[in-house]
Chains A and B, each alone.
Chain A
């Protein structure tokens, strides 16, 4: 039944109790990942949760279309990444139009105690200087202790590509933070 449902367009399938239960389970499992991926781009927890919320709502709408449910996390990560980048671009355009300075990242959280403001700013500056394809790999690698295989699955690229990009990203970050 699940396989038959997988290819039907979302407009044809209403939310069923089974689908809702499945989504609730995935919500509990993937919320933190989505917020952290968003945060790596928007640098603001409130904005990160907004972006993650929209990504999860979109994932819920399209859940029935997903052929391989095991790819849900990877699907969510890529979607959240894209939406976060769009969010930042639109915010910058809005700021530029209104001639308002782009606000800095939100104040330090409890988890940021190990890094002071200046170190954090330098770190994010170095991360922002990375090309997008390297940035995603380094962020996913830093999150939750993901292995190369995990990052390859989440990013939808080969493991060899992950290793190559990770090597380059580390080298550049080290150089920038020296």
Chain B
């Protein structure tokens, strides 16, 4: 063995040649493998998955919010201490303050996309003061059992001192309803004797 350069000995030890049939064996080995598919199915699947993800993301982006903690600026509640404003039952205008008596369940639903596009609600929303809420609830309850009729509203326009047409004050007739069984009597206020102007 060469002491001067072990590389020469290693070179001799590694000087093997392939057997004559080696190349044929490799070709047979390659030929025995299954043929690869040339279809673009994986690309199609990837594209379909990407499309589904994009559609889902867009749907989530534009889906209506089921609940919101913010009351739109166009809809707010009048404080119970303030005198009732004589306005028509339309979308409440600005100037009405929010009160704590507004229950979360009474919060108006925001139409789809309203928070994003700032469009007015498609229907009129009316919020009532807390002291009138009880009367309204009684009215609703009696209507459900067909024991009362909806009072007639008189809401036509009038011209004010400055020549502007403004809605006439509502004249709501007092409604006398028999109490339903189980209605607590201690919370009943004095009935309204005069129409609200």
Instruction: Identify the A interface with B (CB < 8 A).
Output: 9-15, 27-28, 31-32, 35-36, 39-40, 45, 48-49, 52-54, 56-57, 60-61, 109, 111-112, 114-115, 119-120, 122-124, 126-127, 138-139, 141-143, 145, 170, 173-174, 177-178
Q: Are B26 and A177 in contact (CB under 8 A)?
A: no
Does B58 count as interface, using CB distance less than 8 angstroms? no
Looking at the assembled complex, report how far the CB atom of A10 sits from the nearest CB atom of chain B, in whole angstroms.
7
Does B18 count as interface, using CB distance less than 8 angstroms? yes
Report which of A10, A12, A39, A40 forms a contact with B40, defined as CB distance below 8 A: A12
For B24-38 the 0/1 string (1 means CB < 8 A from A) is: 011101100101111
- A/B interface sample: 27 pairs, CB < 8 A: A11-B36, A14-B38, A27-B23, A27-B27, A31-B22, A32-B18, A35-B16, A36-B15, A49-B25, A52-B18, A53-B22, A53-B25, A53-B26, A57-B29, A57-B30, A60-B30, A61-B33, A111-B12, A111-B15, A112-B12, A115-B1, A119-B1, A122-B1, A123-B6, A123-B10, A143-B11, A177-B1
In the assembly, what is the distance between CA of A122 and CA of B3, in Å?
12
Q: Are A112 and B6 in contact (CB under 8 A)?
A: no
Q: Are A31 and B14 in contact (CB under 8 A)?
A: no
The verdict on A138 contacting B16 (CB below 8 Å), with A35-B22, A57-B30 known, is no
Which residues from B are CB-within-8-Å of A138?
7, 10
Q: Are A53 and B29 in contact (CB under 8 A)?
A: yes
Q: Which residue of A lies closest to B25 (CB)?
A: A53
- 14 additional A-B pairs beyond A14-B37, A56-B26, A111-B17, beta carbons within 8 Å, are A12-B43, A15-B35, A27-B26, A27-B27, A31-B26, A40-B14, A49-B22, A52-B18, A61-B33, A109-B16, A115-B13, A120-B13, A138-B7, A142-B11
Q: Are B1 and A123 in contact (CB under 8 A)?
A: yes
Does B123 count as interface, using CB distance less than 8 angstroms? no
Q: Which residue of B lies closest to A23 (CB)?
A: B30
In the assembly, what is the distance between CA of A114 and CA of B1, in Å?
8
Which residues from B are CB-within-8-Å of A119?
1, 9
Interface-central residue, B11, B16, B36, B37, by most chain A CB under 10 Å: B16
For chain B, give the interface size range.
20 to 34
Which residues from B are CB-within-8-Å of A173?
6, 10
The verdict on A170 contacting B6 (CB below 8 Å), with A12-B38, A13-B36, A32-B18 known, is yes
In the assembly, what is the distance between CA of A142 and CA of B152, in Å?
109
Which residues from A are CB-within-8-Å of B11?
142-143, 145
The verdict on A11 contacting B37 (CB below 8 Å), with A123-B10, A123-B13 known, is yes
In the assembly, what is the distance between CA of A160 and CA of B139, in Å?
95
Q: Are A142 and B10 in contact (CB under 8 A)?
A: yes
Does B19 count as interface, using CB distance less than 8 angstroms? yes
Which residues from A are CB-within-8-Å of B10?
123, 127, 138-139, 142, 173
Looking at the assembled complex, report how far the CB atom of A109 sits from the nearest CB atom of chain B, in whole angstroms.
6
